[in-house]
Amino acid sequence: MKIHPMPVYKNYMRRNLFPPFYVAHFFIPSLHILYKMKIALIGYGKMGKTIEQVAIKRGHEIVLKISSANKQYTDAAHLKLADAAIEFTRPESARENVLKCLEAGINVVCGTTGWNETVEDACQFAINHNAAFLHASNFSVGVNIFFEVNKLLASLMNSQPEYSVAIEETHHTQKKDAPSGTAITLADQILSNISRLKSWGLNNADNSEILPITAHRIENVPGTHKISYTSAIDTIDIIHTAHNRDGFALGAVLAAEYIAGKKGIFTMKDVLGIK
């Protein structure tokens, strides 16, 4: 790995002051890298551009930006300009993009959803090539905390059969996969904790053993996920609402910082120190 030292903050230290970059890394264990990274962005749509802004603000350099117009540059020669790659594209191209990066020896953070059936292949490929790989259905710090709340509530509701549970998710119209990767993660967590449920289904509320997921696509909605437990007496809702893409972008950059210099398979729980 290529290491690029950040400036030394001697003047701040003498005055017992800390610049914002140092403060974040000092107080948050997962934000421990005080080095400038060279990052390749695989996917340069709205999400890629937001990641670029966040990465630059955190002191990193974007050395490669790949879109549909210049896919030919996802070759080893160009990828090796980077310390890490952040991949946000489409389900049909994610696997190929990830494998190319790993084959070039570049650690990869991937936020593309809708290719779950082959993610395990990418994990094994990363191990075989002595690289690091982190895939997440959602990089938002808030959503990953929401995941933990979801698991806890589901475990409590396992002994309350009078409550039926449903998931509702809403995203912008550019999001093609449905249900969202985040909704699938939430559903899998619920299925692991509520024994009376056997599977999840999209827009399927007719079978008591199937967890229904309703997906909406509305213009300019970054992402909202709601879990509802409903009985004849009351309803319990937990909701996460994203106000913009910044939280997802920050989480992706934190993940890239976390896997810098590492080898193996990681999750956002590792990045955030969640046990």
Print the domain residue range for 49: 4-140+246-272
Q: pLDDT value at position 50?
A: 96
Q: pLDDT value at position 206?
A: 77
pLDDT above 70: residue 7: no
Q: Count the Cβ atoms, other than its own, within 10 Å of residue 114.
A: 18
Instruction: Return the structure tokens found at 151.
Output: 């698991």
120 contacts 144 by C-beta, under 8 angstroms = no
pLDDT above 60: residue 195: yes
> Are residues 64 and 31 part of one domain?
yes
> Are residues 135 and 88 part of one domain?
yes
pLDDT above 60: residue 2: no
* DSSP letter (8 states) at residue 275: -
> Are residues 100 and 46 part of one domain?
yes
> Are residues 110 and 43 part of one domain?
yes
Q: pLDDT value at position 143?
A: 95
Summarize pLDDT for 44-97 with one digit per residue, the tens. Answer: 999 999 999 999 999 999 999 999 899 999 999 999 999 999 999 999 999 999
Q: pLDDT value at position 26?
A: 33
The more confidently predicted of residues 8 and 166 is 166
How far is Cα of residue 100 from the mean position of the Cα atoms in its chain? 20
CATH number of the domain within which 30 lies: 3.40.50.720
> Are residues 213 and 124 part of one domain?
no
Q: pLDDT value at position 175?
A: 81
Residue % of the chain over a pLDDT of 70: 87
User: What's the mean pLDDT in 227-248?
Assistant: 96
Total domains in the chain come to: 2
Q: pLDDT value at position 6?
A: 37
Give the pLDDT band (50/70/90) at residue 148: very high
Give the pLDDT band (50/70/90) at residue 257: very high
Closest CA to 248 of 144, 154, 133, 140: 140
- DSSP readout, 41-96? EE--SHHHHHHHHHHHHTT-EEEEEE-TT-GGG-SHHHHTT-SEEEE---HHHHHH
User: What's the mean pLDDT in 188-192?
Assistant: 98
Q: What is the pTM of this model?
A: 0.78
Q: Count the Cβ atoms, other than its own, within 10 Å of residue 7.
A: 11
Q: pLDDT value at position 9?
A: 31
Q: pLDDT value at position 169?
A: 96
Give the pLDDT band (50/70/90) at residue 227: very high
Q: Tell me if residue 36 is catalytic.
A: no
Q: Which residues pair with 144 in a beta bridge?
A: none
> Are residues 260 and 194 part of one domain?
no
CATH number of the domain within which 150 lies: 3.30.360.10
pLDDT above 80: residue 238: yes
Closest CA to 137 of 109, 96, 108, 106: 109
Mean pLDDT of the chain: 88
Which residue bears the tokens 């937990």? 238
Of 171, 172, 216, 240, the catalytic one is 171
Give the pLDDT band (50/70/90) at residue 203: confident
Euclidean distance between CA atoms 118 and 39, whole angstroms:
24
Give the pLDDT band (50/70/90) at residue 174: confident
Instruction: Return the structure tokens found at 227.
Output: 């879990």
Q: pLDDT value at position 34?
A: 55
Give the pLDDT band (50/70/90) at residue 270: very high
Of 60, 100, 175, 240, the catalytic one is 175
Residue % of the chain over a pLDDT of 90: 78
> Are residues 11 and 130 part of one domain?
yes
Q: Tell me if residue 171 is catalytic.
A: yes
> What SS3 state is found at 264?
strand
Distant-in-sequence, close-in-space partners of 8: CB < 8 Å, separation ≥ 6:
none
Euclidean distance between CA atoms 275 and 270, whole angstroms:
8
> Are residues 181 and 92 part of one domain?
no
